[in-house]
Amino acid sequence: MSFVERCDLNSRERETACEQLLRQVEASGIELIRLGWCDLHGVVRGKTIVASQLRQALANGIGMVSTLLLKDSSDRTAFKVFEQGIEETLPGFAGASNFTLMPDPASWHVLPWTEKTGWLQCQPFFADGRIVPLDSRHVLQQAVQRLTDRGWQMRCGLEVEFHIYRLKDPLHGADLDPDRADWPGPAPEVNLIHPGYNLLTEGWFDRAEEPLRIVQRTAQALGLPLISLEIELGPSQVEAVFDVRDVLTAADHMVLFRNATRQALRRAGYHATFMCRPPFEHIMSSGWHLHQSLCEASTGRNVFMRDAAAPGGALDARQVLSDMGASWLAGLLSHAPALTALCTSTSNGYGRFRPNAMAPQSILWGRDNRGAMLRVIGAPGDNATRIENRLGEPAANPYLYMASQIHAGLDGLDAQLQAPPATETPYSAGAATIPTSLAHAVQALQADAALCQAMGQPFVDYYSTIKKAEHQRMVQAEDATEFHKREYFGRI
């Protein structure tokens, strides 16, 4: 029995897709194939095989050390896999055992920045054929199934802010000096691509056009639904906006976009980082704004859209959102402290929650208000009616960010929660505030019974252990700036 049969992945459709892919690879002269998998931190890991091994990999996968699921953001294993008791805490991980990465033939891409190289997305399985339940993509797949059972589909649009810098010395920089190697290693030395503080100015776009062209061509060559590239307010800060797709596809696109952007730009002498606050004195924080709506799977009708405004006042969510949309909004607000741990998943991201910076500070919603955590956009009869969550950072794991929205929104629906009035002054005192550190957010996640049940207590415990280790290292760091450079700037 092949491993694909043991995993119960074999089907006529997959067999056909595999044969088509094998013929395509042979005809195109592809030499190398990267088998990629998204880890807990949203980083793509995997192995590279020669093209002649593709048939074997499609049937039986490729081995992967299981501790890759247990790494914190410095790449240290956060669990003691060689000690007694690990099987009770993390069944299947004892002794740094092997998992098997199974490629999805439908995920095939030819990488545009390198020669004769393809890419396949994978998911990890135990030796007995069971999917690894702690895999973040599987966590989202389970959340999506909750929607499917109700006849719904979630659709997401992405607004991703990030920073691009020019490398001072692409070939012999500080991060490549063997005498400075460490764990984690030093960050690269960089210059700006534009001086900032001139939002959306065409002159700054012109100065940054070379790296932005690389981003554009790479994204489009990979089939990503790029809409625009924009100059953001901060020095060297830019934004990419993507059209709506179903939630799982949107998450896959985010993983692919970050991975591809960093690699393509590095080859051209640039450094892209998706950390929230690069470690320089004069910067602006980057956010990842997630636009979300539900639609009926059978008709495509927007479940959040309201046919006519409710009789309440202008600050009533039902002026714009359907009753179900308003309850979904209320669910996101109700679980916001816990959601923060999954939407802003690095210690670095918590410096963003400041007043009057078009970033949220309090757990509020507003109608087309960019200072609120949740921005409601649309009008009665508008099929594009949606909720924009402005809580996330661009370094977040997309699968966990989006799964958290589904679970919180559905809890709001099931409990028939009512949204409070909209805010018009999101930075005024008195409202409940967003957690101020990763440690506080993780504590909120652990205390949220509904999310712990929806995501599974074993997953929440696992995630919390790794994120607590990350936060503790930051607290203990002798030089906080150097910690952020090494931990985040050079790596995400």
Residues of the chain with CATH 3.30.590.10: 145-489
Predicted confidence (pLDDT) at residue 357 exceeds the cutoff of 90: no
CA distance 174 to 180: 7
Q: What is the pLDDT of residue 12?
A: 95
Tokens at 243, concatenated:
């059209």
Q: Which residues pair with 270 in a beta bridge?
A: 166
Taking phi over 0 as left and psi of -120 to 50 as alpha, with beta for the rest, 31 belongs to: alpha
Predicted confidence band of residue 76 (pLDDT cuts 50, 70, 90): very high
Tokens at 6, concatenated:
């043991």
Of 350, 353, 385, the C-alpha closest to 372 is 353
CA distance 255 to 261: 10
Instruction: Tell the CATH superfamily of the 145-489 domain.
Output: Glutamine synthetase/guanido kinase, catalytic domain (3.30.590.10)
What share of the chain has pLDDT > 70, as a percent?
Answer: 100
Of 344, 467, 316, 458, the C-alpha closest to 401 is 344
Could you read off the pLDDT of 434-469 as tens digits, one per residue? 999 999 999 999 999 999 999 999 999 999 999 999
CA distance 277 to 273: 9
Q: What is the pLDDT of residue 381?
A: 96
Predicted confidence band of residue 313 (pLDDT cuts 50, 70, 90): confident
Q: What is the pLDDT of residue 47?
A: 97
Residues of the chain with CATH 3.10.20.70: 9-131
Q: Is the peptide bond before 178 cis (omega within 30 degrees of 0)?
A: no
Q: What is the pLDDT of residue 164?
A: 98
What share of the chain has pLDDT > 90, as a percent?
Answer: 96
Q: What is the pLDDT of residue 392?
A: 98
Average pLDDT estimate for 464-492: 94
Predicted confidence (pLDDT) at residue 380 exceeds the cutoff of 90: yes
Q: What is the pLDDT of residue 434?
A: 97
- One-letter identity of residue 240: A
Could you read off the pLDDT of 390-407 as tens digits, one per residue? 999 999 999 999 999 999
Average pLDDT estimate for 142-169: 98
Predicted confidence band of residue 356 (pLDDT cuts 50, 70, 90): confident
Instruction: Tell the CATH superfamily of the 9-131 domain.
Output: Glutamine synthetase, N-terminal domain (3.10.20.70)
CA distance 453 to 446: 10
Predicted confidence (pLDDT) at residue 189 exceeds the cutoff of 90: yes
Predicted confidence band of residue 414 (pLDDT cuts 50, 70, 90): very high
CA distance 34 to 50: 9
Assign 39 to helix, strand or coil. coil
Average pLDDT, the chain: 96
Q: What is the pLDDT of residue 339?
A: 98
Q: What is the pLDDT of residue 416?
A: 97
Average pLDDT estimate for 157-166: 98
Query: Distance from first CA to last CA of the chain, Å, rounded?
Result: 39
Q: What is the pLDDT of residue 355?
A: 86
Q: 43-52 long-range contacts, Cβ below 8 Å, gap at least 24?
A: 43/491, 43/492, 44/255, 44/259, 46/101, 46/122, 47/101, 51/25, 51/26, 51/118
Q: What is the pLDDT of residue 78?
A: 95
Average pLDDT estimate for 269-274: 98
Q: What is the pLDDT of residue 213?
A: 98
Could you read off the pLDDT of 199-240 as tens digits, one per residue? 999 999 999 999 999 999 999 999 999 999 999 999 999 999
Q: Which residue has better confidence, 231 or 313?
A: 231
Q: What is the pLDDT of residue 311?
A: 86
Predicted confidence band of residue 345 (pLDDT cuts 50, 70, 90): very high
